[in-house]
A and B are shown apart, each in its own frame.
Chain A
Amino acid sequence: MSDETPNPDKDLSAQNLPGQRGDHGEEVRVQRGMFGAQSGADTSGYGGLVRSVRLPGPASRPYGGWFDEVADELEGALEEQGLVPGNAIERTVVDRGELTFHIEREHLVRVARTLRDDPALRFELCTGVSGVHYPGDKGRELHAVYHLRSLTHGRLIRLEVSAPDADPHVPSLVAVYPTNDWHEREAYDFFGIVFDGHPALTRIMMPDDWQGHPQRKDYPLGGIAVEYKGAQIPAPDQRRSYS
């Protein structure tokens, strides 16, 4: 965040409010106040502050480097299969030197299979799925993020799929990438994302009879207060925070 940093936020005169992105990008949350004060006892003057937290938004062509090549190839290959690329690929994000395709969930398997099989793409290695829970991103709270690596071409891309909390279903990629077996079970265990078509979607980390999905944002950390001589320190999620 120094002056010479090539920071996407820099030009938005947001020195005093880091993380501000103007009205660009995708809003995932609205934050009120600052310094974590919620009780109204905030004397800092920032108590009434309202700002939206925005993730990087869609990029426009050219994406730069090999990104265009991959995007072209993918769109071409999808068209060959009679799929309108605009329907399958919600948007393409280029941020911090990484290429992200946001995919409509019903087309995920097709896209992944294309990415794996097309000789010009050849993303042979899937590094698993990482769930992210954005409770403020209404209608698309649960995100499943896949990173695909091409050993042939030495490339790395990211696929992102979202599902609402009310209907947490995402198609399983186990048929395309068998390595996703445990990864999807993990994402199910921690986030409650149901991967349709997974051969045995059961809990993997938590005990079988565990209630809830512990790494969702609405699941408490579950720590207990620690007693010292004459003092008590609340659990990490109960303490005052600065977010």
Chain B
Amino acid sequence: MGLEEKLPSGFLLTTVEQAAGWVRKSSVFPATFGLACCAIEMMTTGAGRYDLARFGMEVFRGSPRQADLMIVAGRVSQKMAPVLRQVYDQMPNPKWVISMGVCASSGGMFNNYAIVQGVDHIVPVDIYLPGCPPRPEMLMDAILKLHQKIQTSKLGVNAAEAAREAEEAALKALPTIEMKGLLR
């Protein structure tokens, strides 16, 4: 990196939070959770042209116990839902979830008996990624945004405080149906 050469007197001051965030975001291990079309785009992202290795996460772990990121790539059926939750429960903390594609995010065009209308009914989602399927560039953008989120996430007391604030904000937020303006 050459970072150590540029330090003025050989040491660097930072907070534990930032250091931990930096370490965590730099080696995220995604679990392979390919379900449908999006899984193919996820594999493409890992392959030669898009080369996810540039962000230190080309190694998709087969075992959820070695992974800290779940990319839910595709439509989640009612039959798959318990399996998905179990895989999520097996992942060690801290863990993050990217809901890749509209089907995982909201059920998408498959508004029917078979598909869970959004994977956030089952697991907490950090990043919703639209697209059907999203391009590899979009997946990389989502991953970079997640990196940012991990970098700035809080620890310990601060984390509890941040969670409480987020909860309060969510309770105060205007429901979608009461919003005004253009349909978008």
Are the CB atoms of A221 and B113 closer together than 8 Å?
yes
Q: Per a CB cutoff under 8 Å, which of A207, A223, A230, A232 touches B112?
A: A223
Q: Per a CB cutoff under 8 Å, which of A227, A235, A236 touches B176?
A: A227
Are the CB atoms of B113 and A219 closer together than 8 Å?
yes
Interface 1/0 per residue, A8-47 and B, CB below 8 Å? 0000000000000000000000000000000000000000
Chain B residues, CB < 8 A from A205 = 79
Check A231 for interface membership: any CB of B closer than 8 A. yes
Chain A residues, CB < 8 A from B178 = 230
Size bracket of the B interface? 10 to 19
B86 to chain A, nearest CB (A): 14
Are the CB atoms of B183 and A224 closer together than 8 Å?
no
Are the CB atoms of B111 and A229 closer together than 8 Å?
no
Chain A residues, CB < 8 A from B117 = 224
Give the distance in Å from the alpha carbon of A40 to the alpha carbon of B78 in the complex: 38
Interface 1/0 per residue, B54-82 and A, CB below 8 Å? 00000000000000000000000011000
With A206-B79, A207-B78 known as contacts, the answer to whether A227 contacts B177 (CB < 8 A) is yes
Check A228 for interface membership: any CB of B closer than 8 A. yes
Give the distance in Å from the alpha carbon of A229 to the alpha carbon of B112 in the complex: 22
Give the distance in Å from the alpha carbon of A226 to the alpha carbon of B105 in the complex: 13
Chain B residues, CB < 8 A from A219 = 113
Give the distance in Å from the alpha carbon of A221 to the alpha carbon of B182 in the complex: 29
Check B2 for interface membership: any CB of A closer than 8 A. no
Chain B residues, CB < 8 A from A229 = 176, 179-184
With A206-B79, A207-B78, A207-B79 known as contacts, the answer to whether A228 contacts B183 (CB < 8 A) is yes
Check A222 for interface membership: any CB of B closer than 8 A. yes
Complex: chain A residue closest to B82, CB-CB: A207
Of A221, A226, A229, A236, chain B has the most CB atoms within 10 Å of the CB of: A229
Check A164 for interface membership: any CB of B closer than 8 A. no
Interface 1/0 per residue, B149-184 and A, CB below 8 Å? 000000000000000000000000001111111111
Check B19 for interface membership: any CB of A closer than 8 A. no
Check B114 for interface membership: any CB of A closer than 8 A. yes
Complex: chain B residue closest to A232, CB-CB: B177
Q: Per a CB cutoff under 8 Å, which of A214, A221, A230 touches B177?
A: A230
Interface 1/0 per residue, B29-66 and A, CB below 8 Å? 00000000000000000000000000000000000000
With A223-B111, A236-B111 known as contacts, the answer to whether A230 contacts B183 (CB < 8 A) is yes
Interface 1/0 per residue, A175-186 and B, CB below 8 Å? 000000000000
Complex: chain A residue closest to B111, CB-CB: A223
10 tightest Cβ-Cβ pairs between the two chains A and B? A222-B113, A223-B111, A229-B179, A227-B176, A207-B79, A228-B183, A227-B177, A214-B113, A221-B112, A222-B112
